[in-house]
Structure 1
Amino acid sequence: MSKCKNPCTLESLSLKHEEPNLFHRSEWNTQNHPSLGYVIYRIAVAAVMTAGIIAHMISTKDTLGAKWLIYMTNQGITFLTIHYILYSVIVTLRHFMNTENVRLLDEKFPILYSFSWGLHNAFTTSAFLITLVYWGVLHKYVVENNLIVGVWMNFLNVFLHLINSLSCLLDIFITARPIKFGHWYLAVCFGLYYTTFSLIYWAAGGKGICRSETDCDPYIYPILDWENNAGIAVGTAIGCMLLAVALQGVLYGLYCLRLFIKKKINYSSVNTS
C-alpha cells in the first residue's frame, strides 16, 4: 500500500513507482484489479470533460474561432481531458487483460504509466491554479467587459474554471495513484511554456479579444500585457509558478488525507469484524 513519505527527496522527482497496481485502480478497490465500477467512472469522467470542451469550442466558434487555443484555460483543460482519456484507456485495458499480460505488466513500471502520471500531476495542479487565478483576478474583468452573455455561456464558463478543479478534487479521493510534492516541476514547466507562448504570440502581432476589426486587445489576458505592463506580466508569471509549487504541496496533503481515511476505515473494519 502506498504511504506518505518525506516529500523532499530526489526520489520524489521520479515518474516511476514500485507499485504499478496503484495506477490503474481505485483506492477503494479491495483487489489490485480495477473494478467494473471504476472502469465506468473513468470512462464517464473522460466523456463529460470531452463533451464540455467540444460544447465550448462550438459555442465560441463565431467569437473566438482559432483563438480558442490561445487561452491558458483552454489549453489546460484540453491537456487535463487528454489525461482523463488516457487514464480511462489504461484502466479499461487493465480490466480486460488476461492473466499472463497482467503478470508481465506488474513486473515493470510501464512507460505509458509514467507519461500518464506526469499528465495527471501537471494538469491537476494547473487546474487548481487556473481556477484560483480566474475567480480571484480575471472574473471581475470578464464581468466588467460583459464578455460572457447568457445562461449557457455562463455554465460553460463555470465548467472551464470550476468543474475542472472539482473533477480533480473528486479524483484525488477516488484514484489509488500517489501524489508526490516533488512533481511540482511539471506544472511549473507548463507555466514556463505558456509564459513563453504568450510572449511570442504578442511579439508576432497576435491579438486577444476583438470587439471590431480595428478594436482588439493587445494581450491574451490583461495580467499578461507584454506591451503596456511588462513588469506586471513578469510578476504574474513568477507568482503563478510559485503558486503552482504551493498547490502541489496542498495536493500532497490531500493525498495524505486520503491515505489516513483509508487507514482509519480499515482499522474500524478490523475491530468491528
Structure 2
Amino acid sequence: MKKSCKPAMLGRVWAASRRALSLEHSPPHQFACCQWQAGHKPSMYYLTYRWLVFLTVTSIAVASFACQRLPRLYKGPKVELNYFKWFIYFTNWGYLLIALQAALALAVVHRYRNEKSLNISCDDDEIQMPRRQKTPVLCRLYWLAHTVATDLAFVITLVYWTLVHDPRIHEVNALNLLVHGGNSLVMLVELALTAHPVRAAHALYGAGAGLAYGLFSALYWALGGTDRLGLPAIYPTLDWNKPGSAFGFVALCAVVMMFAHGVATCLAAVRARAAARLRPAAHDRLALPAH
C-alpha cells in the first residue's frame, strides 16, 4: 500500500505543479479587458489606453536607442560609441519586454473587440454559458511577457538606483528616469488596470529571465565583449573577472525577482478584491463566461 501511494502522491504533485506553471486561464477574454469596466468586451476607453501605452513605451525605447552618448562627466580615453551595445544592458532587455507586452496587449484587445461570439447580453432571462475555452496562444504570450516585464521592471529600478547608479558618471535626466523609474510606474499602472490574474508560481519565469541574462553576460565576457566604454564588465557589479561576486549578484537578482513577483501577485489580488467590492456588478459580468 505504501509503495503504491508514493507514486500516486508524486503524480498529484507533478500535475499540480504543471497546472500552476501553465499559461492556461479561463475566461481568456479577461486578457483583453480592464478590471474596472462593465461587461466582458474590451471598451473603447481601454483600447485607447492600450494604444497610448504602446506608443509611449515604444517611443521611449526608440529614444533610448537613438540618443545614446558618452556620460557627460566621463573623462576616460576617447571611445567610439557602438549603438548596438544598447542591447547588452539588462535595463534595455527589460524595456524591450515592456514594449513587447504592450504590443501583445494591443493585439489581444483588437482580437476580442472583433470577436462577435463574446457579444452576450446580460439582460436576457437565461444566459447561455459557453464551455471553458482554451487560452489562445496570443493571450499566453501576452501573459508571459507581462509577467516577466513586471518582475524585471521592479528589479531593474531597485538594483539600478541602489547598486549601479554612479553620480560621477550617470546623469539624472528625463530619459534616465523614464527607463529606470518610468518602467516600474508603467507596470504598476498595468497591474492596477488589467483584469487577468498574476499567478504566484509564474515567479519562476521572471527568475529564469534574470538567470538567462546572467548566462548571457558571462558568455559575452568570455568572448571578449566590453561595455560601451570599453570596460570588460557590462556592469561593475557583474564583473566575471571576479566570478564569485558575479555569481552572487546573479543569485541575489534571482531572489529579488521572486520577491518582486510576490509583490505583483499581492497587488493583482488587491486589485481584483477591490473591484469585486467597489463594482460587484462589473466584476461579475467581466468573469461571466467562465465555464
Residues in 1 aligned to 2:156 and 2:82: alpha-carbon distance in whole angstroms: 19
Is 1:221 paired with 2:221? no
- Give the alignment of 1:9-48 within 5 angstroms: 10=17, 11-48=19-56
Residues in 1 aligned to 2:116 and 2:40: alpha-carbon distance in whole angstroms: 14
Q: What amino acid maps onto 1:13 in structure 2? A: L
Specify which of 65, 84, 87 is matched with residue 102 of structure 2: 84
Specify which of 196, 204, 218 is matched with residue 199 of structure 1: 218
Residues in 1 aligned to 2:217 and 2:163: alpha-carbon distance in whole angstroms: 18
Q: Which residue of 1 aligns with 2:194?
A: 175
Q: Which residue of 2 aligns with 1:250?
A: 263
Q: What amino acid maps onto 1:224 in structure 2? A: L
Higher normalized helix content (fraction of residues):
1
Q: Which residue of 1 aligns with 2:133?
A: 107
Q: Which residue of 2 aligns with 1:93?
A: 111
Q: Provide closer, same or farther for how the CA distance between residues 77 and 108 of structure 1 changes in structure 2, counting only shifts above 3 A.
A: same
Q: Provide closer, same or farther for how the CA distance between residues 100 and 245 of structure 1 changes in structure 2, counting only shifts above 3 A.
A: closer
What's the offset of the Cα at 1:233?
0.8
Residues in 2 aligned to 1:107 and 1:168: alpha-carbon distance in whole angstroms: 27
Q: What amino acid maps onto 2:213 in structure 1? A: Y
Secondary structure in structure 2 of the residue aligned to 1:193: helix
Number of equivalent positions:
248
Q: Which residue of 2 aligns with 1:67?
A: 85
8 Å contact 1:207–1:218 — kept in the other structure?
yes
The TM-score with structure 1 as length reference comes to 0.85
8 Å contact 2:24–2:134 — kept in the other structure?
no
Larger radius of gyration: 2
What's the offset of the Cα at 1:64?
4.3
Is 1:260 paired with 2:273? yes
Deviations 1:85-133 (A, max 9, x none): 1111110231133338999997321121111111110111111111110
8 Å contact 2:104–2:138 — kept in the other structure?
no
Structure 2 gaps, min length 5: 1-15, 70-79, 121-128, 283-291
The TM-score with structure 2 as length reference comes to 0.80
Deviations 1:7-50 (A, max 9, x none): xx623221101211211100011100000000010111010000
Moved more, 197-206 or 95-104: 95-104
Is 1:236 paired with 2:249? yes
Q: What amino acid maps onto 1:262 in structure 2? A: A
Is 1:53 paired with 2:79? no
Residues in 2 aligned to 1:78 and 1:241: alpha-carbon distance in whole angstroms: 19
Secondary structure in structure 2 of the residue aligned to 1:107: coil
8 Å contact 1:20–1:106 — kept in the other structure?
no
Residues in 2 aligned to 1:100 and 1:35: alpha-carbon distance in whole angstroms: 13
RMSD: 2.3
Specify which of 159, 164, 182 is matched with residue 163 of structure 1: 182
8 Å contact 1:46–1:85 — kept in the other structure?
yes
